[in-house]
Each structure stands twice: as C-alpha cells, then as structure tokens.
Structure 1
Amino acid sequence: MMKSRVVSSLIVDRIRAKSELKPVEIIHEFKDYYGIDISYYHAWFGKELAKLNVHGDESKSFNELVWYADAVKETNSGSLCTLECEAGINRFRRFFVSFGCCIAGFQYCIPLLFVDATFLKSKYKGQLLCASGKNGNQGFYPPAFGVVDSETEEN
C-alpha cells in the first residue's frame, strides 16, 4: 500500500505547477503512470503534505503579519500598514498596506482609481482588495492592497 508521504514526494512538482489539483486526478495519474491504485485518503493527504512542502504552513504565516507590518513601517518611510485583530482572542480581521513610494508616485497617475476584490478560497476564506491607478504609459499602478476576513461584520 502506498503511503501519503510517498504520494506527496511524487506529486510535489505537480502541486507547485497546479495547486488546485484534485485528489481524483492524483488517483488517475497514479493508475496511468505507475499502474498503482491508491485510496482517496492517501491522494488527499499526500496533496495536503505536498502543499505544506511547497507553500508552508498557512496558520504560521499569519503570525508573521505583525513582523511584516512593523518591518514595512520601519523600512519604508511614508508607508501605511495596518493590522487589525479582535481584542482578547487575537483573531485576524484586516490587513492594509500602501507603500510610501506608491503613495508619492500616485500623484503622477491619471486621476482615476480602480478598486477590485476577489474571494480567497483557502481554508481561512476572506477577500483580497486592491486599488490601482492608471499611469501615463497605459499601465496599472498599485498604490494599495488589503485583506479582509470574510466573517468581519464591519465594512
């Protein structure tokens, strides 16, 4: 019986290229390429181990936001960086970044501001927000971005 760690080591490059690979696709690939039947559990858990290997632990990366916010404020003069958590339980609510150089450069853009958002589909959910302007070369200029927890009730 093939173990999840072996599955993980064999699919890590596929996960790096396509992280939304489904366990059923992994099962079919193992049957086609190796002639081996693996269970859905081993395919799913092997995928999770490979994602952990490629992207790191998502829960630990949230702990790095405090460090990142402080580093942005210290090393980029004029930058705005806000990390907001619920008091008492330290639950993530919002994160906003606008680098000082982007704030200063925005004055040279066409006076239009575009705001867009997309849903994050990891286990933590939320929305990624981005504001951008249009520069003289018809390119987009990103003055700010942020992340909002999907369960945040305030706007």
Structure 2
Amino acid sequence: MWQKGIWRILGKNPNWEVSGVKHHVMQKISVDLSLSQVYRARTAARGLITGNEESQYGLLRDYAEMILRTDVGSRVILQTEMENENAKPNFKRMYIRYNAQKVSFLGGCRPFVGLDGCHLKGRFGGQLLSAIAKDGNDNIFPVAMAVVEQEIKDSWMWILEQFADDIGRPEELNLVFISDRQKGLLPAMKTLFSTVEHRRFVYKIDNERERHVVDLKPEDYTHPCYYKDAYVETYKTPIPPMPGQSEWMSSGQPKPVAPIVYKPPGRLTMKRKRDADEPNPYKVSRVNRPLRCGKCHQEGYNARECKANVTGETAWERRQRLQKGKSGSGRPSTHRQGSQAPSSS
C-alpha cells in the first residue's frame, strides 16, 4: 500500500502535516485523496515506525525481569490496578532504578536531589517523574525515575516512599531536595520528610572576615564530592547492556494492559489551574498601585469619590437648574408651572 512508502519520510519528520502528505502523494502517484484518508494513512505509517503502544504494555513485566537479571542490585516496581477480580490488570505506575545509579550517587555525587516531572505525549498520556543529582563537576546525574498516571500528591508520595526505601532515608543521608512549585509535591514533602530541607540556598561570603584568615587549606573547606577520587567513583560502575527483545525471558506473571485514560467532561483547558496564592503573569496586579481619579486625574481616590465641581445639590435640583437655564436663553420650556388668565385693560 502507498502508506508504507511514506514511513521513511515520517521517520525523519514525525510532525509531517496532513496537507504535506497529500501534496506528496499527488506529485508521486497523481492520486487526489481526501484529508481523512491521508490522516488514517499517516496514523498507520506511524504505527509501522513506533509499533502498537497498547501491546507494548504487556511486555513491561518481562522488561522488568530482564533488568533485575542483567543488572544485579537494580530495583523495578510495577504497580497495577484491577476493576474487578476477573478483569485484566491495568498499568498504573512503574519505578526504575539501576544499580549503577545508587552506587554512584552514594559514592560521589553531591547531597542534592532535584525533583521534577514532565508530560508523556503518547496515546495514553501519563507523567514522568524523576530524581536528579549532580556530580562533583556540576553535571546532571539521574538517580531514579517513575511513570505515574498524574502529577498529584498520591503519586509524589509513592515515588518518594520508593526512593527512601531504595536509596536511604533523607534524614540519615543529610539530603537537600530542590524543586519548583510542583502540584502535590509540597504537601507530600511535608507529610513524609517534614524535617528535611526543601528550598534553594544562596551562600554569602563575608569578605571582611576573609581578609584576616591565613594559612587556609582547601581540603578543610571542600566537600568530599569535589575530590578526584569521588568523581572517579561516580562513573566507575557501568550499566550492563540488555539483550534484545527476542532473548527476553518470560516472567510467568499476568501481562498488564494499557492504563485507563480518564477524560474529564467538557472542553479541554488550554492553561493549567494555578494555586490561590500563585501569581498570574498574564494579569497586572493592583497591589501597591496608587488610585487615580478618571475625572480630575488626581491620585488617592477614584471617580466615585471625586470632589471636584461639587455644588452640594441633588440630582433633581440639578435638572431643575438646567431647565431654567434653557428657558432663560430663549428656548421653549417644557416645564409648565400653571396657566394665568390675561388681564383686561
């Protein structure tokens, strides 16, 4: 079929537009196709490249088993959920940490752990949560990662519990967590690690005192992670290669199926929901801005409280004054107070 001929182009340009595919087919084989036909053909061609996403979830248990066999000391946790006793297990979460990551992190990395997450742009969605550290050369070093359904408090508590049971308790390792305002992460940190530092640091040097210090030894004021031996220890343990999929061993456990995608009712929102105390960068705040009157352009009050040209009369008295002014200028008055009989001469 002709859709098999475009998979090579889609491999180089996965974001090939439907209109571009239609124009390409028209030039190559002179066939005018509808947009719906081109869309279905492009989806089929992408399936030839990436494979069936739904069937790949059934290989996760075998994949986890091969990680544990080829890299002794690693840890893989696969969590599933079932709607009822007779249903197949649905994929929910997965935690992966290789042996080299734990050994290198505890042996030579800095005691700082960055927590962050990102969206998975696949058919079934999800979130990729990761724990990142830095070595003595200030390079990024991944420690652990997990795939969860949503970035909520429950998912963050699950990965933090797995991290503490796997790597070690943060209180005992004197770890410092660094993150931004991730939803669900702050309450999860307060619940699990209330005594662990979770903020950003800025170190200041007192130059006045530094001038009077003599005979300083850098070894006395340098963290051990910056030593050469620690840096070599960080990348000493390799991650062994894994055999191809055809050589995988079966785990003998029920194969999980694709996760359940929960779609909220209504139209999808284009912007994320902000917290109550989170500033909105698209809206100008009126905090610390002086009031300015729209009539007299003075600061300190608005137009309702403006006292310029105030005569003290009511609205009815103002209308009466304006009508008298019109009648006195020669215009006919619409207000009649009463008719008088003409006097006889």
Q: Report the TM-score range of the alignment, normalised by the length of the smaller protein.
A: 0.7 to 0.9
30-39 or 95-104: bigger deviation:
30-39
Out of 18, 22, 27, the residue aligned to residue 23 of structure 1 is: 18
Judged with a 3 Å threshold, the aligned counterparts in structure 2 of structure 1 residues 124 and 102 are, in CA distance, closer, same or farther, namely same
1:116 is displaced (CA, Å) by 2.1
Distance in 2, matches of 1:40 and 1:151, equals: 36
| Residues 153 and 60 (structure 1), Cα distance of their counterparts in 2 relative to 1, 3 Å cut | farther
When residues 99 and 44 of structure 1 are mapped into structure 2, their CA distance, relative to the original with a 3 A threshold, is same
Q: 1:103 & 1:62 partners in 2: Cα distance?
A: 26
The alpha carbon displacement at 1:41 in A equals 2.1
> Which of the two has higher C-alpha Rg?
2
CA distance in 2, matches of 1:20, 1:115: 30
Is it true that 1:99 corresponds to 2:98 in the alignment? yes
- How do 1:115-134 and structure 2 match up within 5 A? 115-134=115-134
What does 1:37-48 align with in structure 2 at a 5 Å threshold? 37-48=32-43
TM-score of the superposed pair, with normalisation by structure 1: 0.84
Answer yes or no: is the 8 Å Cα contact 1:118–1:127 preserved in 2: yes
Does the alignment pair 1:61 with 2:56?
yes
Question: Which one-letter code corresponds to 1:73 in the other structure?
Answer: L
Q: Which residue of 2 aligns with 1:79?
A: 74
Write out the 4+ residue segments of structure 1 that deviate beyond 3 Å after TM superposition.
28-36, 150-154
What one-letter code is carried by the residue in structure 1 that aligns with 2:36?
A: Y
**After superposition, what is the alpha-carbon deviation per residue over 1:64-106, rounded to whole angstroms, capped at 9, x for unaligned?**
1010111112222221101111034411100110001111101
What is the TM-score of this pair, normalised by structure 2? 0.40
Which structure shows the bigger proportion of residues in strand conformation? 1
Measured in 1, the distance between the counterparts of 2:61 and 2:112 equals: 32
5+ long unaligned stretches in structure 2: 156-345
Q: 1:115–1:130: 8 Å Cα contact kept in structure 2?
A: yes
Q: Bigger shift: 14-23 or 99-108?
A: 14-23
Alpha-carbon distance between aligned partners in 2 of 1:122 and 1:73, rounded to the nearest angstrom: 26
Kindly state the Cα deviation for residue 152 of structure 1 after the two structures are TM-superposed. 8.6
